[in-house]
Chains A and B, each alone.
Chain A
Amino acid sequence: MIQATNGNLASALLELEEKDVERLVSDELARGVPPETILEEMRQGMTEIGNRFAGGTYFLTELIMAAEIFGQTMKKIEPRLTGGSGGEAGDVVFATVKGDVHDIGKNIIVAMLRGADFRVHDLGVDVPPERIIEKLKETGAGVLGLSALLTTSFDSMKATVEALARAGLRDHVKVMVGGGPVDERVRAYVGADVCGRDAQQAVNLARQFAAVEV
């Protein structure tokens, strides 16, 4: 007999209780709860955490910790999923642009996107436009995330977006930019589609883009 979840899993995730989450997942799997059902409850917990972050009651460290617990739990659930094991939300290519070596912001967004079931191709730091173009062509990703922390990196972002156009990809790829000094003026200067203000917004933007057929 297939059991339903008892609703405690999302609560444990909300409280960042990693051990409780592990125990509850094991219990539910043992009771025969479908892994897809468990995964959905975990996603509900993540959605609520995202809402609380947007509302200012949870901060970035909580968001990231939830993403870590979610990711670690996924490793247990993924082998049991019947309909695909991740990346169902779509492909995203992500990079810190050429000339910039900062990676913490990028790493956070990548972790959050993976938690939201995106397949993220993280190219690392100091990435030239041609490598980004190559990965976009290889993966068919419809979303590109560019990160920078140095103001001197804006021209690299601009060069990357221009390279997208020359490669004939601009109409097929949505570009989101982010990082400490990156704001709406920078977005307009570099020719990107959106500027992500924080980790949760980046995930929301990627979901919006993935929902639009280009």
Chain B
Amino acid sequence: MPILTTLKPAIELTEVWKYEQGGREPRLALRQLAEKLLPEAQALVTPAVVVDFFPVSEVKHDRITLEGGHRLRGPDAARLLAPAKEVVVGVVTIGPALEEQASQYFANGQPAHGYLLDCLGTAAVTNLVQQVCAHLENLAAARGWPLGFPLSPGDAGWPIAEQKTVFALVPAETIGVRLTDSCAMLPKKSISFVAGLGPGMLTAAEGSQCDYCSLRDTCRYRHGPQ
């Protein structure tokens, strides 16, 4: 059950401007503020990752059963994970410090500082997941299998209640992440994911959970602000 703490997420301002400004070059004042906040964001990020692998014992139309008896429920998730011989389950976080500082900026009457810092945090945790998945792709390739694109409870038709299953499978508390009663993760800059390994899995190059989301045509994270 590896707990990875050596990964350092990259925070790319181009990613921030892609979904905040539709890819348009930001005004000088915004660019300068983001550049000013970047070292602060990097200092506040404390990345941590926990992952584990589980062989699949049974596939049904509405659930995947893992060895040990845990079930990942939901027809959409079951359909996408159906080809998997194993699943990898993970939780990643950049820790609480960045979002706490962002909240403090808002409380101090500096909403632009708070909002941009939050955006940098989103870019950081997203990049962290991408790095983890790249690492997992190499592990899967060594076994001769593709790694399917990651799915997350709460996205694209997979009920958020399935976070409880994810958190039962990996000890996220060891990296400081917990679930609220409503299945939100704290720290908020945390992402959970499940990905399948096996022949026939659709890889990240071939698809994503976005393809199955009702917001795929309007989501600003795909298309920029509308």
Q: Which residue of A lies closest to B121 (CB)?
A: A104
Residues of B within 8 A of A64 (CB): 111-112, 115
A61 with B21: CB separation less than 8 A: yes
The digit string for B168-207, where 1 denotes a CB below 8 A from any CB of A, is: 0000000000001111101010000000000000000000
Total A-B Cβ pairs within 8 A: 83
B182 with A152: CB separation less than 8 A: yes
Partner of B109, one of A61, A68, A99, A101: A68
Q: Is A65 an interface residue (CB 8 A)?
A: yes
Q: Is A111 an interface residue (CB 8 A)?
A: yes
B225 with A60: CB separation less than 8 A: yes
Partner of A68, one of B21, B22, B111: B111
B112 with A67: CB separation less than 8 A: yes
How many residues of A are counted as interface, with CB atoms below 8 angstroms from the partner's CB atoms?
Answer: 31
Main DSSP-derived SS at the A contact region: helix
Partner of B118, one of A16, A72, A104: A104
Q: Is B73 an interface residue (CB 8 A)?
A: no
CB distance from B181 to the nearest CB of A (A): 7
Q: Is B33 an interface residue (CB 8 A)?
A: yes
A59 with B114: CB separation less than 8 A: no
Q: Which residue of A lies closest to B186 (CB)?
A: A101
A-B contact list, 8 entries, CB within 8 Å: A17-B29, A59-B22, A59-B225, A60-B115, A61-B112, A100-B184, A101-B184, A107-B106
| Residues of A that sit less than 8 Å from B by CB | 15-18, 59-62, 64-65, 67-69, 71-72, 75, 99-104, 107-108, 110-111, 126, 150-153
**Given contacts A18-B29, A104-B114, could you give 20 more A-B pairs where the C-beta distance is less than 8 Å?**
A15-B27, A15-B29, A60-B20, A60-B115, A61-B26, A65-B33, A65-B112, A67-B112, A68-B110, A68-B112, A69-B112, A99-B180, A99-B181, A99-B182, A103-B106, A108-B111, A111-B109, A150-B160, A150-B184, A153-B182
